[in-house]
């Protein structure tokens, strides 16, 4: 009898838990901003099939709270209708933060190359989203 009551309680909690709607933490916090980071592929220097993956290595406000995010490969349209390939990711940061970042490119042959703006790292102050 105790097992039956325990099972019913667990089942009730599970059903109640599933009935509560999930909420998007980022959307609820109006201080957070969705920001898209892209790394276009330079066809003059790199064969895109040689790239295994690209990782965004970033921190906020002076390299605090460092995270790594794998970028997705996608085709993008840039200048005068020419189609290019880029690696992109969308991250969420607090409005007004300075985003500090670099890219880690891993190739199929095992080589790794850091793209860090010639040793200066990339920096951008995020005031608003850059996603249309």
HEC secondary structure over the chain: CHHHHHHHHHHHHHHHHHHCCCCCHHHHCCCEEEEEEEEECCCCCCCHHHEEEEEEEEEECCCEEEEEEECEEEEEECCCCCEEEEEEEEEEEECCEEEEEEEEEEECCCCEEEECCCCCCEEEEECCCCCC
Does position 17 have pLDDT exceeding 50, yes or no?
A: no
Give the pLDDT mean for 48-77: 90
Dump pLDDT digits (tens) for 71-98: 998 876 666 666 678 899 999 999 999 9
Cα–Cα distance, 37 to 17 (Å, whole number): 35
Cα–Cα distance, 129 to 132 (Å, whole number): 8
Q: What was the pLDDT predicted at 26?
A: 46
In the chain the domains, ranked by start, together with CATH numbers, are: 26-126 (2.60.40.10)
Higher pLDDT, 22 or 97: 97
Give the pLDDT mean for 27-50: 75
Confidence of residue 106 (pLDDT cuts 50, 70, 90): very high
């Amino acid at each position: 009898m105790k097992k039956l009551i325990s099972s019913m309680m667990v089942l009730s909690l599970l059903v109640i838990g599933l009935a509560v709607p999930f909420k998007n933490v980022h959307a609820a916090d109006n201080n957070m901003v969705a920001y898209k980071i892209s790394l276009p592929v330079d066809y003059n220097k790199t064969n895109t099939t040689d790239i295994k993956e690209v990782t965004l290595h970033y921190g906020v406000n002076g390299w605090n709270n460092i995270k790594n995010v794998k970028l997705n490969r996608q085709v993008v349209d840039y200048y005068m209708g020419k189609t290019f390939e880029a690696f992109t990711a969308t991250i969420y940061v607090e409005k007004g933060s300075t985003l500090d970042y670099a890219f880690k490119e891993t190739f199929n042959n095992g080589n790794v190359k850091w793209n860090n703006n010639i040793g200066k790292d990339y920096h951008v102050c995020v005031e608003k989203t850059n996603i249309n």
